[in-house]
Each structure stands twice: as structure tokens, then as C-alpha cells.
Structure 1
């Protein structure tokens, strides 16, 4: 039975970021690494967006950058100047190809396209089995999400950021190529938090995603009917669909870190790396994977990795509100973006604000809703 220093069970965003940064550091060339996933990551299955101030290690795969973004609801529209930030887009397939090409050159890294069937931590090592093989290792980075474990608990709210997106090419030149639509709440809310998200690539081409923050998924036809309605509202009558994408991202402040053990660390969605209040994944995974690299250079006990911050509590308050009054999302985000400083809001979502800056952002939100959530939050401790 072959032994590795590290096994990555699942090769999602967090896993690929982490192992790529391990190769960049040059400090793990003497460590054997195995990546196991039943998916070979050869399809363009998603689009990631994030904001940044300085150049990142992902510059080569960023295909679009914007300095402005639109926020809208049924009553107002506001163009947001994002300076000093830029809003950036990465296609899933470009990211996969970029990372796998780099990893394929590392002699200490192996790949296996099989489904993981068991992870068993023993006294001195971890046993990992797939449908056809078995291995041992010193430590496991697990990104296989256990949906049932989250949904079977009732203490912490669990919502989904779920969406269907169409990349379309239209005959009519209707898109502002330099201004993506961050959130457009002018669509019918129907008792939920529903908005359109638009990434324009030119005057004639864009990705349109009908998105909800809610408990339950819809029938595919409902997402797509709303996309068609929105396309018509934009004045488009002649278009073709280039690509489709679909996703559902859990939004919860459930303490995933309590599942970490000495030798098994849950990362990505499985470890709660998704930003709970927004569903943004790329930015948080980038930050946490970098911290993880520094951690494993000096520490061996994965139970020490997690740090709870004030932002976990802020996210908890928002999710508590949306759990009980899901239709209030438009009101909350509209209050924040109508007069708030866009750069400060993005800094807040980036979890880099001071307490004074936190208060400046939070005071833009409906106070009564958050005061009620604050009193209710005692149940989570």
C-alpha cells in the first residue's frame, strides 16, 4: 500500500489553490502529494469573480477586469466606482488548465481520477480508499462536501446561493462592456432574495445569472424563464446561447472547523471556506489557502488552524435575518449600496475593516432587523 505525505481528497478550488501554492513556495518538493477526484476538471463548469487592489498570482487566467459595477433595484440604479479595487473574472476551465499544467511538472505530485470511498484516521496515519485502490498518508486535505451533515442540524441557518447562468451573444448592442451588474433586484422577489447578475464581455455578449439566496432550489425552467424575461427587458430579441452554467453554494455559519482533526483538515465548502453572507468562494479560498501554506510549515495539528473572527458573527446576523424573513434581502443590500462607500463595502466584504469601519457599513443597513437578529444570536453560543 503506497504511502504519501499529503493526500487531497477532492480537487476543487481550495485544493488546487493550496497545492499550487505549495509548489510555488518551493518548500514541499520533498513531500509526496496525491490528488484524488472522480472529476478530471476538463469542462468549463463555473465562473469565479473576485475583487483585488494589487496584482495577484492569478493574473494569467483573469480574462476580464472592471473598475465600475452597477447596483439596482426597482427604485434606483447606481454605478459604483470600485477604486481602488478591480472586479475580476476567471473561467473555471482556464483556472483548471493553468493549475494542472503547473502541477504536472512537479515530480512529487500524482493524480488519480477515482471516487473517494473512505477516509479513516488512525493513530499514526490516515487511511484513504477509492473504488479500486487504497493508500495511507500523514495528513489529508478533504474538500468533499458532506451536505447531509449540514442539513441534519437545526441550530445554524442554512441557505443556498443558487443560480442558472446563460452566456449569450445578441444581435442588439445593449450591454455596457465596462460595467458589470453586481446585483439587480428589480426582478420579482416572490418572497425570496432574488437578483440578476450580469458580466458583460462586449456590447453584444454577456453572462446573465438569475440568482437566489434562499432555502430551496427551483425547477430549472423557473430560472430560465426569468433569464428570458430579463433579456427581453434589456431590449434583446435576437440572441443565441453560447454556454450555460448552474450552481448551488451553501450559505451557513455552521462551525465546519469542529470536524477538523489532528490529521484531517476540511477545506473549501467542506471546511466553511465560502463567505457565508455572500456565497463568494474565490477570494476566501485564496486568503485561507495562503494562510494554510504558512500553517503547515510549522504546525502538524490541524485542529489549531481555524480562527473565528468578528466577520463570522456579522455573517451570522445576516443569515439569521434571511432565514426568518427571506424577502428582506433586497432591502438590506439596497440600503447598504444606495449611499454607502463602494470601496468601504468591498473592504468590509474582504474582512479587512476596522471596528469603526464595520460600524459605518452596518449603520447603512436596516437597524431594526439587525437589532432583532442580535438578540436572537445568543442561541448560537
Structure 2
């Protein structure tokens, strides 16, 4: 008989959903509780690449396909290469993550994985109903990773930008890449009134992931991204012959909008849907990994899901930067050039990891263009009055 009631339902077998499912499967507290993971996709393709930085070895090292301790930043007028040790910049391919985590969950006796499309989720006050294209389920608690930007776009209190990109993994006929250095941001491409840069992950001297990325409000036609990549390969890499091995594309919200306000006592939005991506950068993989243990402990303490919050002082820093990018999107390259010119990359990474002291915070913030930020801070303070 097809079981239709579960203690926990996890909607989405992406990074957040699978991290949470595995954490629950490995914790004895949940061993007698039923868990269902729902996703419409069987995760058999490499649909994304996750990158993050950390000091020394970490829990995802078995899945890391490449790592680097050198990064390059290119502004409109400057180019700098940095050694970020003791940090390493690490890359995890989506397909490797899915394969490993789904394999680990396969033989979990109290966990089911079903491939169905979720149509509706509703907190009844005592439980949650989940309607899919195949079944109607109920659960005591639901963790929902289905992202919806519509509510954020309806309001004006917080700016809403997107990090949107198209990437090609290419193999060239000759060595054109420095395999030891990640091009973290290359702003030498035309800005066209936005914040636009190239991001390059070299896998070898003749293979790399090349992504055209924007921080802006609106998406572009796909051909615009691809034309930019083609031009970059011709103008910056010396016109090599190449083949496209894989393609990927994505969009990540960049906003301080409070997605957590949509949580209920029995529904918790997780991952990007819960606002877990860092607003100022779009990085979500490690921020999610750091939040999962907190969620697990809160569940074991019996906390209502709508009481689980992660807001801290870094949220205010993110809001200030997003205000700048929203109102002066064409000046984004100036912000990042100033930051990398005046602050060590190790300090920047520590700051983005939200591990700095208040004094260290101020040193990083002081490295940004002061006139723009002072005006934006004044406008934000006036807005709140």
C-alpha cells in the first residue's frame, strides 16, 4: 500500500533538501520517524556547479573535483592575483553531490524518495497537506525548497536583484588557462549599465568552466549571455578552437526580503526558498550546510518551525550593498575594485563567511567607496523613519 502520511516531508532533492534528509537519516533521534523526499527530477544530469571556500579539510572534500588557493580579480583598470591560503576555493559538481547523497539515502529504512511534482502545500493548523501530480500527502512537518520570487517582487522595502548567469564548460585545442588560478571576477567585459563580469574555473590548462554573470534586476535573452562568452573566448583567450562539453545556467535571488515570514508552525522554507543564500553574493551551498545542524537541533528541541531564524548583523551589511547595486547598478564594478584594492582577499572571505569581529567588519566596510555608501546609508536610515 502506498503510504500517504509521514512525520516529515522534504520537498526538493537539491542541496538543502538532501543535506537535511541525510542529517536526519544519520541522527538516531529520527530513526523511528517516517520521512518522505519529493522531487520531480531524478537528478541524473550535472545541472549546476557549487563553489565555496574554507580553511583546511571539510565535510564535502570527497566530492570536491577541484580546488585552488589562488584567485584573480580583474577590474576595469587593474588586475591582481592573490594567494588566499589558508583558504582553498573548492568546486563540487551537482551530479557528484546528487549521486553520493542519493546513494547514502537509498537504504535508509524510514525514508522514501518519490519523483512527483508538488502542486500545493497547505498548513491546516494541526498538520500539513502536500498535493502532488500523483498523490495527496499529509505530514506533521514539511520542509519546502520550492523557490518563489513573486512575493519579494511585490514589495519595495527591500531591493530585489538577481545573480543570473550562463556557463560553458569548454575544452580547447591548446593550453590557454592557468590551471592553478580561479578568475573570481573579471570586470573587463563591457558593463552596459549593469554589474557584469566573467567567472572562470580552470579544470586543466585546456579545460574550464566559463560563466557570464550579472548582478541586476532583469534577465537577458539567452543568446546575449552566449555571445558574451564567445567574445570573451575570442578576445581574452586568444581565439582557440574549442568544444562545449557541458552547459549550465541559473539565477539566484539577491535580496534581504524576509522569506522566513512565509514559514508556519509546521512548514519551514529551506535553501534559497528560505532566504538561505547570502543576499550580497548569491552563495548558498556552505551557508545552507551551516544552517542544517541548527535546524536539526531546533527540531529535537520541539521548536515551532516559524521560530527558526538566522538574521544577524551581516544582514544589514548585505542590505547596504544591495541598496548600492540596486540604485547604482552601473557602478558595481567600482565597489568591487575598491574592495579588492583596499582589503586583503582573506579578510573579504572571512567577512563573507560571517566570521569577522565588529572591528574587522568596519575595516572591510571602510574599503568600499565611501561617498556612495554614505549616501545610500543616509537614504536607508531616512526610509526607516
TM over 0.5: yes
User: Number of residue pairs matched?
Assistant: 381
Residue pair 1:166, 1:208 contacting (<8 A) in 2 also: yes
Post-superposition offset of 1:296: 1.2
**1:354 match:** 357
**1:247 match:** 250
2: CA distance between counterparts of 1:34 and 1:338? 49
Residue 323 (structure 2) pairs with residue 331 (structure 1): no
Q: How does 1:204-215 map to 2 (within 5 A)?
A: 204-215=206-217
**1:79 match:** 81
SS at match of 2:30: coil
Residue 273 (structure 2) pairs with residue 298 (structure 1): no
Q: Deviation digits for residues 320-366 of structure 1, max 9, x if unmatched?
A: 11111101110001111123111111000001111000011010100
SS at match of 1:338: helix
TM-score of the aligned structures, taking structure 2 as reference length: 0.96
Post-superposition offset of 1:145: 0.9
Report the aligned-residue RMSD: 1.3
Residue pair 1:174, 1:236 contacting (<8 A) in 2 also: no
Q: Which one of the candidate residues 231, 235, 239 is aligned to 1:236?
A: 239
2: CA distance between counterparts of 1:147 and 1:123? 25
Residue pair 1:45, 1:92 contacting (<8 A) in 2 also: yes
SS at match of 2:82: strand
5+ unaligned residues in a row in structure 2: which ranges? none
2: CA distance between counterparts of 1:307 and 1:145? 18
Q: Deviation digits for residues 46-101 of structure 1, max 9, x if unmatched?
A: 00000011322211111011011000112111111111110000000000001000
**1:67 match:** 69
5+ unaligned residues in a row in structure 1: which ranges? none
**2:181 match:** 179
2: CA distance between counterparts of 1:59 and 1:256? 30
Post-superposition offset of 1:263: 0.6
Q: How does 1:142-181 map to 2 (within 5 A)?
A: 142-181=144-183
**2:318 match:** 315
1: CA distance between counterparts of 2:297 and 2:10? 17
2: CA distance between counterparts of 1:305 and 1:123? 18
**2:201 match:** 199
Q: Deviation digits for residues 205-264 of structure 1, max 9, x if unmatched?
A: 000000000011111111111111111121132111111111111111001111111110
Residue pair 2:56, 2:86 contacting (<8 A) in 1 also: no
**1:132 match:** 134
